[in-house]
Amino acid sequence: MSEMTCAVWYGVNDLRVERRPLPEPRGREVLVRVAACGVCGTDLHLVDGSIPLYQPPRVLGHEMAGTVVALGPEARSTPLGARVAIDPSLPCGACFFCREAQPYRCPNRTPAIGGFGEYLAVPEQTAYPLPDGLPLEHGALAEPLSCCLHALELAAPRAGETIAIVGAGTIGLLLLQLARRSGAALVAVSEPDAERRELALRLGADLTIDPGTEDPRERLLAATEGIGVDYAFEAVGAAATAACAISLPRRGGTVVLVGVAPADAEIVLRPYELFERELTLRASFIRAFEFRRAVALLPRLEVEPLLGARFPLPEIHAAFAAAGSRRGVKTLVTP
């Protein structure tokens, strides 16, 4: 076989299924046959042109897992047949940020993306073996889980503190499970979709809020003796939900923006309010060194309930439509 099927992004709302040459692993690369790739909100924003992260044409897809089927001549530590999740980011190792142990801030990162194709060649160091017995599809959640670990560690909540999560998509529901395991005394989730609120309760939320019929701030003040939560995580990527998250913490509390908003989204910040409440406002960008731990954690989390519709690669447009309509939680493409 010398060709493979892939979905190539050529520009705004231009995603084409086509045949391309099968990549050949070079140096320390490994060739991975993709089993599953999640459709991320970032993919939706890239295709509709609302974030300028990459330049087309490009095969997108960064939440991926698969099987190693060929090795480059210098690959040393990954055996053939290994079941792996892919960290889709390779820092340069030489810039200021890499030398300061902040590789995720590297401006010269090489994106190891391409999960919307049958195969991709990636540097061996980006391929993390999955725990024995873990379904390959679950490995596609290693990437978003690593982002959640990074966000939680930026906030550094202590056991017994209170946490609110705005949004019960993949990121919100993974944050919920991590917060629950961290010893939070209260974990609340604000989400307009009834099915997702029900799933949040099943996964350990102490209370859920329908922002269409309830005021999240008033509900959380009532639940915290009028104080507010210690931490609020925004897990949607929209101006309205970011503003909601900022309204939730107590004086001295912390807000972490995790969702990826369109590049032109804006919110109103009132400096006096930040001053009076002494808020800490943080943004969480991808991951630092959390990917290995995310892979190790996957078998200990409730992953299957997060996986929604599966689409073969030729139905990539239907997969994007399903993800955009928020049907289920995580839409998968299964090349």
Query: What is the structure's pLDDT at 328?
Result: 84
> Do 132 and 221 share a domain, yes or no?
no
Q: Does 288 reside within a domain?
A: no
Q: How many domains does the chain have?
A: 2
Q: Does 291 reside within a domain?
A: no
What backbone phi and psi angles, to 5 degrees, belong to 43?
A: -60, -45
> Do 151 and 260 share a domain, yes or no?
yes
Query: What is the structure's pLDDT at 53?
Result: 84
> Do 221 and 309 share a domain, yes or no?
no
> Do 177 and 132 share a domain, yes or no?
no
> Do 228 and 185 share a domain, yes or no?
yes
- Structural domain span for residue 248: 145-283
Query: Rounded to whole angstroms, how far apart are CA atoms 227 and 285?
Result: 29
Q: Does 50 reside within a domain?
A: yes
Sheet containing strand 58-59, strands side by side: 14-21, 3-11, 58-59
Q: Does 289 reside within a domain?
A: no
Q: Please, which residues have CB within 8 angstroms of residue 226's CB and are 6 or more apart in sequence? A: none
CATH of the domain at 113: 3.90.180.10
CB–CB of 182/153 below 8 Å? no
Query: What is the structure's pLDDT at 326?
Result: 82
> Do 127 and 27 share a domain, yes or no?
yes
Residue 321, classified by CB atoms within 10 Å of its CB into exposed (0-12), middle (13-18) or buried (19+), is middle
Q: Does 314 reside within a domain?
A: yes
Please tell me whether residue 35 adopts helix, strand or coil conformation.
strand
Strand partners, 150: none
Query: What is the structure's pLDDT at 270?
Result: 93
> Do 132 and 150 share a domain, yes or no?
no
Strand partners, 311: 333
Q: Does 298 reside within a domain?
A: no
Nearest C-alpha neighbor of 161 from the set 39, 279, 252, 292: 252
CA 6 to chain centre: 22
At residue 8's C-alpha, the angle toward residues 5 and 12, to 5°, is 155
CATH of the domain at 277: 3.40.50.720
| Amino acid, single-letter form, for residue 256 | V
Compute the half-sphere exposure of residue 307: CA atoms within 13 Å on the CB side of its CA: 21
> Do 188 and 202 share a domain, yes or no?
yes
Contacts from 225-229 at CB under 8 Å and sequence distance 24+?
228/253, 229/162, 229/163, 229/164, 229/186, 229/188, 229/253
If phi > 0 it is left, if psi is from -120 to 50 it is alpha, else beta; for residue 228 that is left
> Do 153 and 125 share a domain, yes or no?
no
Query: Rounded to whole angstroms, how far apart are CA atoms 267 and 252?
Result: 21
Taking the chain (335 residues) in consecutive chunks of 10 residues, what is each chunk's mean pLDDT? 92 95 96 98 92 91 97 94 95 95 91 94 96 97 98 96 98 98 97 97 98 98 98 97 97 97 92 95 93 97 96 96 90 95
> Do 205 and 252 share a domain, yes or no?
yes
Q: How many CB atoms lie within 10 A of CB 27?
A: 11
